[in-house]
């Protein structure tokens, strides 16, 4: 079982029986961040999975792609690797406990799913919790404030 909210966790799914994802699709932070001009700050090889099926028929157009192109790649990757068949989406994990009697994990989601597995990989990424910037005078600031992880 893979609990994911990160981009690279998708590479693990190929050998996984079940994936639980909080979002409605793959991509983690790149699924949720769709504000204008959102783009990566690393060159595309960092965002490509090493599996040939995931990159063979997809070529990034930009060296530092925007969120739209990244989402296109994620869609390609999910289709090429047939990842949606193992995915349970819109399911945020609220509890994960190891049961020493059964020597397995019991995972619960906020939408009442209970899953059991011998092994669990928590691939939640580093940007899975929003940080909302607070500063003096924020409530009277007249400009736009974009909190990408909100």
SS3 content of the chain, % helix, strand, coil (to 5): 25, 20, 55
Instruction: Give the CA distances from residue 35 to residues 6, 30, 62, 93, 144, in Å, rounded to whole numbers and listed in that order.
Output: 18, 10, 18, 26, 12
Is domain 2-140 in CATH 3.40.50.10260, yes or no? Answer: no
Domain boundaries, the chain: 2-140
* Residue 1 pLDDT > 70: no
Rounded to whole angstroms, the Cα distance separating 97 from 19 reads 17
Give me the mean pLDDT over the 15-20 stretch.
74
Helix (H, G, I), strand (E, B) or coil at 6: coil
Which tens digits make up the pLDDT trace of 35-62?
A: 788 888 888 777 777 788 877 888 999 9
Which tens digits make up the pLDDT trace of 91-148?
A: 999 999 999 999 889 999 999 999 998 888 877 766 666 667 777 888 888 877 766 5
């Amino acid at each position: 079982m893979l609990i994911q909210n990160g981009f690279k966790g998708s590479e693990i799914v190929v050998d996984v029986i079940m994936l639980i994802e909080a979002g409605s699709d793959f991509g983690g932070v790149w699924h949720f961040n769709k504000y204008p001009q959102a783009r990566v700050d690393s060159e595309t090889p960092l965002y490509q999975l090493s599996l040939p099926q995931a990159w063979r028929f997809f070529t990034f157009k930009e060296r530092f792609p925007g969120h739209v192109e990244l989402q296109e790649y994620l869609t390609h990757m999910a289709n090429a690797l047939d990842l949606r068949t193992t995915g349970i989406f819109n399911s945020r994990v609220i509890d994960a406990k190891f049961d020493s009697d059964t020597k397995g994990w019991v995972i619960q989601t906020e939408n009442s799913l209970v899953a059991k597995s011998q092994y669990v990989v928590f691939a939640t990424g580093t940007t899975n919790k929003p940080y909302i910037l607070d500063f003096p005078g924020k409530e009277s600031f007249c400009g736009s404030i974009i909190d990408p992880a909100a």
